[in-house]
Structure formats: structure tokens, C-alpha cells
């Protein structure tokens, strides 16, 4: 089976606005006093020892149904204040945001930058799809390498061609044009790789937020890719109830119908 056959793109006409997003950061710096290297192991960092806080310096994104890459950096015209406002306005439009390690990294990092530093109001609610969480839940040790770059290479998904360079980021914030261009291109590459991984994992994303397609019955539409589903004879068995099941005709993902379930038993374990 070719890679193209393993990637499930969403149906045209999906109304949800889906944003693929990735950020790059400048690391923080602390001042430490120590007698030997063992003193530095697992040392708690006190606020008073911080010389520079980490911060987001680059944010790249694209709308799922568009080929245009959106590249934002703190050194763009308008400076950091404009940079944060541009990220805010972008995220405020999204119904669903997709990223790799998004829930533990990108979203909380941006929350600190936008709300604590930037003083911006809360964003409208949005759902997230974290492709790293999907790999961990569905494949566990069956996919021992779960970084974006490693898994994309293993699965044959077009992946990034560069690596994050901390020293390059230091030079970029100090006005190195070459390093700025390199790091923005690296971040954009992550966005493209993330969309490929998202399409690859789509059938396995059991908790994908519902997709709405114009003119389609939501009961027969696949909530993962927006394509049509068909009933299958098997039923989904819960502890007490069973539910009718459907399978997507495109991605192959399964869904259950939560109306009119059948009661399997009146006995529940205690």
C-alpha cells in the first residue's frame, strides 16, 4: 500500500476551521551556585536565580484546507507585541488546533506568552488534537520512536529536513538574518510534517472532535474525516449497554451510535 493510500484527507465542505500549529522557543537562563556537579542534579530553580525567562519567538501554522503557510516571528515589523497579537488573532479563529506534543508544550507555552506577558483576554474555546498523545495511546511500545521527525521517517511521511539549534536561536534574536530564515523554515517544516502525521493517524483518533459537513446528516458522517459511514453488523459492547456501529467508507474508522442502545444486562459489577 502506497503512502498516499494510507493518508486520509478530510472531505471538502467541512465547516470546522482546523489550524495546524508549531512554535519555537528561546530557552531561559538561570544563575546557579554549586560545589560539584552533583549539586546541580534535580536542583529546584528559584525565581530569584532566573536571568532570562524562556519565550516563544516563532509561530508557524496553516489552515488544514489551505496550502498557504503562515510564518510569524517576534522580529517581524511591529515587534513582540504585534507578534503576540497576530498569534492570538490566528488562534481565535480556530475550532480545532492540531500539533505534536501540543497539549503539554505549544498551548501552555502560548498561554503564558499571550495572557501573562501579553495581557490579552482569554481565547474562545477550541478543541485540540495532539498527535503525540495519539501515538502513545494507540501504539504504546509498538512505536518506540514517537518524536515527530523519527516517526515520520519510519512511516514514510515527508518530514523536516533540519534540527532545532539553540545557538542559532540566540543568534536569530540578535539579528542574524541567516539564522532567522533557517529557523522559520524549520518551524514551517514541522507544520507540514504534522499535517501529514495527522492524516496518517486519522483512523486511530478515537476522540476526534466532531466534524460538520454542509448538507450531511451528522449521524452518518465520520467524525474523524467528514466522509460517509455505513452500518456494520457488529455492535459496540459496554459494561451494561450495546450500541450500533458504523464504519467510515474512506478512513475505515469506527463509530458508535448513542441513540437507542440495547441493554445487555441489568447487573453491574461493584
User: Digits of tens for pLDDT over the chain (270 positions)?
Assistant: 556 567 888 999 999 999 999 999 999 999 988 899 888 888 888 999 999 999 999 999 999 999 999 999 999 999 999 999 999 999 999 999 999 999 999 999 999 999 999 999 999 999 999 999 999 999 999 999 999 999 999 999 987 778 899 999 999 999 999 999 999 999 999 999 999 999 999 999 999 999 999 888 888 999 999 999 999 999 999 888 899 999 999 999 999 988 878 887 777 677
Domain residue ranges of the chain, discontinuous segments joined by +: 3-204, 229-263
Give the CA dihedral 81, 195, 157, 201, nearest 10 degrees. Answer: 130
Strand order across the 127-130 sheet? 70-73, 55-63, 18-26, 96-99, 127-130
30, three cell numbers: 538561570
**12: how many CB neighbours lie within 10 A of its CB?**
9
Classified as helix, coil or strand, 226 is: coil
154, three cell numbers: 519510519
Burial class (CB in 10 A: 0-12, 13-18, 19+), 57: buried
Enter the CATH code of domain 3-204: 3.30.420.10
Return the bridge partners of 23, or none: 59
DSSP state of 121: P
| Model confidence, pTM | 0.92
- The CA-CA-CA angle for residues 130, 133, 136, to 5°, reads 155
CA distances from 36 to 32, 46, 47, 134 (A): 11, 19, 22, 41
Distance between CA 25 and CA 94 in Å, rounded? 22
| Residues 49/40, Cβ–Cβ less than 8 Å | no
- Burial of 194-224, coded b for 16+ CB within 10 Å and e otherwise, reads bbbbbbbbbbbbeebbebebeebeeeebbbb
Q: Which of 210, 259, 254, 260 is nearest to 230 (CA)?
A: 254
Distance between CA 205 and CA 248 in Å, rounded? 13
Amino acid at each position: 500500500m502506497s503512502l498516499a493510500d494510507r493518508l486520509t484527507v478530510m472531505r471538502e465542505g467541512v465547516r470546522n476551521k482546523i489550524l495546524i500549529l508549531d512554535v519555537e522557543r528561546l530557552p531561559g537562563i538561570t544563575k546557579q551556585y554549586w560545589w560539584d556537579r552533583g549539586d546541580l542534579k534535580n536542583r529546584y530553580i528559584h525565581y530569584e536565580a532566573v536571568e532570562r525567562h524562556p519565550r516563544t519567538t516563532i509561530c508557524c501554522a496553516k489552515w488544514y484546507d489551505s496550502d498557504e503557510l503562515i510564518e510569524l516571528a517576534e522580529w517581524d515589523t511591529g515587534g513582540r507585541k504585534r507578534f503576540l497579537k497576530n498569534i492570538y488573532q490566528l488562534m481565535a479563529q480556530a475550532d480545532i488546533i492540531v500539533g505534536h506534543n501540543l497539549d503539554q508544550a505549544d498551548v501552555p507555552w502560548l498561554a503564558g506568552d499571550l495572557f501573562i506577558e501579553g495581557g490579552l483576554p482569554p481565547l474562545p474555546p477550541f478543541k485540540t488534537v495532539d498527535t503525540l498523545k495519539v501515538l502513545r495511546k494507540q501504539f504504546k511500545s509498538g512505536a518506540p520512536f514517537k518524536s515527530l521527525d523519527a516517526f515520520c521517517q519510519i512511516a514514510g511521511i515527508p518530514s523536516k529536513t533540519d534540527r532545532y539549534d539553540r545557538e542559532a536561536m540566540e543568534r536569530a534574536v540578535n539579528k542574524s538574518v541567516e539564522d532567522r530564515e533557517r529557523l522559520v523554515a524549520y518551524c514551517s517544516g514541522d507544520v507540514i510534517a504534522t499535517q501529514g502525521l495527522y492524516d496518517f493517524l486519522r483512523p486511530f483518533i478515537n476522540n476526534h472532535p466532531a466534524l460538520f459537513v454542509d448538507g450531511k446528516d451528522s449521524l452518518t458522517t465520520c467524525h474523524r474525516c467528514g466522509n460517509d459511514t455505513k452500518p456494520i453488523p457488529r455492535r459496540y459492547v459496554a459494561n451494561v449497554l450495546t450500541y450500533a456501529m458504523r464504519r467510515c467508507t474512506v478512513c475505515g474508522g469506527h463509530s458508535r451510535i448513542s441513540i437507542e442502545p440495547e441493554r445487555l444486562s441489568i447487573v453491574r459489577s461493584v
